[in-house]
Amino acid sequence: MIKMCVVGSGYVGLVAAACFAELGHDVTCVDNDSGRIGALERGDVPIHERFLPELLQRHRGKRLRFSSSLASSVQASEVVFIAVGTPPSESGETDLSYIEAVAREVGAVMATNASGYKVIVEKSTVPATTCEGIRRVMELNGASAASFEVASNPEFLREGTAVTDFLYPDRIVIGAEGPRCIALLQKIYEPLTSGAYYGLKEAIGEGAPAAPARLIVTSAKSAELIKHASNAFLAMKISFINAVAAICEGVGADIDQVRQGIGADSRIGSRFLNPGVGYGGSCFPKDIQAFRAVAQSAGYDFRLLEEVVRINDEQRRRFMAKLRSALWSLRGKRLGVLGLAFKGGTDDIRESQAVAIIQLLLKEGCSIAAYDPAAMEKSRSSGVFENQDVSFSSDAYAAARSADALLILTDWEEFAALDLARLRAELKYPILVDGRNLFRPESVTASGLIYVSMGRSEVPQKAAAIPGK
Ligand code: UGA
């Protein structure tokens, strides 16, 4: 059992704190937002994340506590994880001011209190060399160089599957130099790397993985780079398949067959090759800009990433063009929209392509009836559609009711299970424009709907005929 604190109770911080408690450690999750800390103490679960409510319930008040006092939490901890926000600045570079503020405060605590050796670990996604910056700031604020080490331990969790991503990782990356620091971090993850966790009766998830997690020890700079390069590579895979999907449409090939053929090569792999309206979320868009900035300052012009972003932006325009060809003019059209979140399984609408597309449709004079299984509350409270012609529906069928067409913008599993005949009966015109390829074209057209999707043969002639009615 290691005494630790996790600074930041956002997505990464809260999931990491709950999972570290699950691994048997004594954890304090710290945030300077005392309202949020109070809510967490009362039992609120601020994010929509599978298994998180169970973990918080299991450990709250026992191995997992919440605090708004950084000083006392740091003092009582051997390891301090930093998981505060790293938003982009105007120029696309990462704004490290929150990290710096934490480093300053931790340094000052360590200067005045001889509470022993500590390891400071950055978990937030940060540019290479941030570890060095943290070390410098801590020393400038009075921490003695011998009393601490700084390490990088990037997180690869995805929203929606964050808890199982944490507990069943492909790899754990530890970027650290000193043997004492490395040993401490190895010990933290030992229940996963030894596989002991998976033998526990109450373990979360579906039993032991084929192989326990691989631990990769690197320098801190390499670890920082691994995180940025991994996200950039995944985004590149998505833009690549979206470009191939566009070519499929041009030559009359089927993207499903093509990606199956590509993905079967184990050197490429089939995951993250789903075409759609483009990637979104709080990580990929921001991390790619940040990685470009890192490359730039290292003297390398990483233009490939510029192209990844361009293709991603292009997806929205391609989707709008499909809609126009299916509906002819957009002005005055009433559209049902399924999906607001940036992907299925989450209530997060940050950088959501669904939201961006709805905004384009509103500008064109459409009215929108939207449904999302989890993200409607955030869409309402964030005010993204304030004073706009957007209503929220109670379910997918209500969104389709009397609509000129139904659009799918988020890949929620439950959308793929919808009753197509019932949707057709609700719609004014039988048009389904699927930006996420949730259905096979044959099954949709068999139910009497005109189906427009991404990178597959469509029924454009019939679709073009509809709006003239
Ligand atoms: C991503 C990474 O997958 C995580 O490994 C990483 O830890 C995280 O960023 C982070 O840096 O914190 P996340 O943003 O939660 O996780 O979401 P993803 O599942 O990666 O999806 C990102 C976007 O790509 C979504 O909009 C999704 O719909 C889209 N996507 C994904 C596709 O369009 N096609 C695909 O094949 C896969």
Which of 181, 248, 283, 366 is catalytic? The answer is 283
Could you tell me the domains of the chain?
3-218 (3.40.50.720), 225-469 (3.40.50.720)
Residue-wise pLDDT for 409-451, tens only, equals 999 999 999 999 999 999 999 999 999 999 999 999 999 999 9
Mean pLDDT, range 331-339, rounded to an integer = 97
Q: Which of 164, 283, 355 to mutate to test the pocket of ligand 1 (most atoms within 8 A of CB)?
A: 283
- For residue 336, pLDDT over 80 is answered with yes
329 versus 458: which is more confidently predicted?
Answer: 329
The yes-or-no answer on residue 131 being catalytic is: no
Determine how many CB atoms are found less than 10 A away from the CB of residue 261. 11
157 lines ligand 1 (CB under 6 A): yes
* Nearest CA residue ID for atom 20, ligand 1: 158
Q: How many CA atoms are closer than 13 Å to the CA of 40, on its beta-carbon side? A: 31
- Dihedral sign, Cα of residue 203, residue 205, residue 209, residue 213: negative
Residue among 238, 239, 287, 349 whose CB has most ligand 1 atoms within 8 A, to mutate: 238
Residue 125, ligand 1, Cβ within 6 A: yes
pLDDT at 462 over 50: no
pLDDT over 80 at 457, yes or no: no
Token readout for 302 is: 């990483």
286 lines ligand 1 (CB under 6 A): no
Nearest alpha-carbon partner for 31 in 79, 77, 70, 80: 70
Angle between helices 220-251 and 255-263 (to 10 degrees): 140
Strand partners, 113: none
Whether 234 is in the pocket of ligand 1, judged by its Cβ within 6 Å, is yes
Q: Which residue is it, tokens 């959501």?
A: 352
- Asked whether residue 213 carries a pLDDT value surpassing 90, the answer given is no
* 30-86 pLDDT, tens digit each: 999 999 999 999 999 988 899 999 999 999 999 999 999 999 999 999 999 999 988
Distance CA 143, CA 48 (A): 38
Q: Are 22 and 57 in contact (CB under 8 A)?
A: no
Neighbours of 67 (CB within 10 A): 19
What mean pLDDT is reported for the chain? 93
Task: Report the nearest-CA residue for atom 8 of ligand 1.
Answer: 158
Q: Tell me which of 14, 231, 318 to substitute to probe ligand 1's pocket, judged by most ligand atoms within 8 Å of the beta carbon.
A: 231
Report CA(129)–ligand 1 centroid distance (Å). 25
Q: Is the CB of 283 under 6 A from ligand 1?
A: yes
DSSP labels for 236-303?
HHHHHHHHHHHHHHHHT--HHHHHHHHHTSTTT-STT---SS---SSSHHHHHHHHHHHHHHTT---H
Atom index in ligand 1 nearest the CA of residue 160 equals 15
- What is the distance between the terminal CA atoms of the chain, rounded to a whole angstrom? 70
Q: How far is CA 171 from CA 55, 189, 402, in A?
A: 22, 11, 49
| Residue 350: per-residue pLDDT | 95
Query: With a threshold of 0.85, does the pTM exceed it?
Result: yes
pLDDT at 92 over 80: no
Q: Is the CB of 342 under 6 A from ligand 1?
A: yes
Query: 């301090």: which residue's tokens?
Result: 80
Question: Is the sign of the CA dihedral 405, 411, 416, 418 positive or negative?
Answer: negative
Q: Is the pLDDT of residue 467 over 80?
A: no
Using a 6 Å cutoff on CB, does residue 11 contact ligand 1? no
